[in-house]
């Protein structure tokens, strides 16, 4: 008998097809997040649940006794929405999809960096609303990007890919903070400098780009104090997780001019986005598009399938995180 699997959201059709060939698969055709009750039922009925970032799986979402579910195959690299300790206690394996969304997420970090520095969103809004009165020397002056310094917080795959784009594509200097020492050819060739503290990075960077995981360890890593420690005229870019930034402190810093602007692809409590942010012109806001390309979403799905097949065949699971 094939393992029974439930997929919590719609996936690219090609991957749904592969999944249904491999497993007895239930798709959530409504494509709205399952409720906590539906998730609890899923733990009792399915061998695997394939969730994604829009599913909240804190400890309370896990069953108390035993679960039928033996695998949580997360569609996405970030898994801070899953309490991996609770999974471990129930003997549930958790996998993710590293590697395949690196470039596309770094592209979105650069989209935001360029967009907010050069006021692209604001310019487009002006033009679409019919308010553009024509070229003039003082119109919508932004910040130059080349020759500036990008500060990467979290020099993992996506951090490095963003640094590469910034350095080789846009002539930026790179400084970074990473918990462990990073000393490899890639960072050396970019002359990227690892600094001892986040504060050191904030003191030097014209653009601060966040690439660390979300969850308790990094919650509000960018708080009011650190936002105030950024250079005057600096910009914050977040393609990591919304909870890494204290959103209220960010709004205050943007309103007071403590920082010049922000480019945000992720939000604390998304899809809700504070109205104050939506009203500001000095921010560029995207609806969590980091990995949103056809190629990447298919690759993510195929990675989940690869992990699930390995798991149910009793082989080593390539991307086990718990
Ligand atoms: C990821 O893979 O973590 C993306 O943010 C989508 O969840």
Instruction: Return d(Cα 119, Cα 138) in angstroms, integer.
Output: 13
Respond yes or no: is residue 10 known to be catalytic.
no
Class of domain 4-100+294-312: alpha beta
Atom 3 of ligand 1, nearest CA residue: 78
Tokens coding 31: 């494509």
Q: How confident is the model at residue 115 (pLDDT cuts 50, 70, 90)?
A: very high
**What are the φ and ψ backbone dihedral angles of 15, each rounded to 5 degrees?**
-80, -35
Reduce the DSSP state of residue 180 to 3 states and report it.
coil
Give the position of tokens 């009925």.
45
pLDDT attached to residue 90: 97
pLDDT attached to residue 237: 99
Task: Evaluate whether 153 touches 198 at the Cβ level (below 8 Å).
Answer: yes
Atom 1 of ligand 1, nearest CA residue: 76
Q: Output the 3-class SS for 187-252.
A: HHHCCCEECCCHHHHHHHCCEEEECCCCCHHHCCCECHHHHHHCCCCCEEEECCCHHHECHHHHHH
Domain 102-285: CATH superfamily, name plus number: NAD(P)-binding Rossmann-like Domain (3.40.50.720)
Distance 269 CA to ligand 1 centre (A): 15
pLDDT attached to residue 275: 98
**In ligand 1, which atom is closest to the CA atom of 53?**
7
Q: Give the pairing type, strands 93-95 and 283-285.
A: unpaired
Distance 60 CA to ligand 1 centre (A): 22
pLDDT attached to residue 127: 98
Using CB distances shorter than 6 Å, the residues near ligand 1 are: 52-53, 76-78, 101, 290-291
> pLDDT tens for residues 181-213?
999 999 999 999 999 999 999 999 999 999 999
| Reported pTM | 0.97
Task: Evaluate whether 319 touches 303 at the Cβ level (below 8 Å).
Answer: yes
Respond yes or no: is residue 241 known to be catalytic.
yes
**In ligand 1, which atom is closest to the CA atom of 241?**
5
pLDDT attached to residue 157: 98
Distance 159 CA to ligand 1 centre (A): 14
Distance 77 CA to ligand 1 centre (A): 5
Respond yes or no: is residue 315 known to be catalytic.
no
> pLDDT tens for residues 207-259?
999 999 999 999 999 999 999 999 999 999 999 999 999 999 999 999 999 99
pLDDT attached to residue 306: 98
Q: Where in the chain is the domain with CATH 3.40.50.720?
A: 4-100+294-312, 102-285
């Amino acid at each position: 008998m094939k393992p029974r699997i439930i997929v919590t959201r719609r996936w690219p059709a090609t991957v749904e097809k592969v999944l249904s060939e491999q497993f007895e698969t239930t798709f959530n055709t409504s494509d709205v997040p399952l409720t906590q009750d539906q998730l609890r039922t899923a733990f009792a009925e399915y061998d695997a649940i394939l969730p994604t970032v829009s599913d909240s799986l804190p400890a309370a979402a896990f069953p108390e006794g035993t679960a039928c579910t033996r695998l949580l195959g997360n569609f996405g690299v970030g898994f801070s929405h899953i309490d991996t300790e609770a999974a471990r206690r129930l003997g549930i394996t958790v996998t993710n999809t590293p590697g395949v969304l690196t470039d596309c997420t770094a592209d979105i970090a650069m989209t935001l960096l360029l967009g907010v520095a050069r006021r692209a969103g604001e310019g487009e809004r002006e033009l679409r609303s019919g308010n553009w009165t024509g070229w003039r020397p003082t119109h919508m002056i932004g910040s130059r990007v080349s020759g500036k310094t990008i500060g990467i917080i979290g020099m993992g795959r996506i951090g490095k890919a963003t640094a590469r784009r910034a350095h080789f594509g846009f002539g930026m200097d790179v400084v970074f903070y990473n918990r462990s020492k990073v000393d490899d050819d890639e960072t050396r060739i970019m002359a990227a400098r690892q600094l001892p503290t986040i504060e050191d990075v904030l003191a030097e960077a014209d653009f601060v780009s966040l690439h660390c995981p979300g969850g308790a360890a990094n919650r509000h890593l960018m708080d009011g104090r650190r936002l105030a420690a950024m250079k005057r005229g600096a910009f914050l870019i977040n393609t990591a997780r919304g909870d890494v930034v204290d959103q209220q402190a960010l709004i205050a810093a943007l309103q007071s001019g403590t920082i010049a602007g922000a480019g945000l692809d992720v939000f604390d409590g998304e899809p809700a986005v504070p109205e104050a942010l939506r009203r500001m012109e000095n921010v560029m806001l995207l609806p969590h598009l980091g990995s949103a390309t056809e190629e990447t979403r298919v690759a993510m799905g195929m990675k989940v399938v690869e992990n699930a097949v390995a798991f149910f065949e009793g082989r080593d699971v390539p991307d086990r995180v718990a």
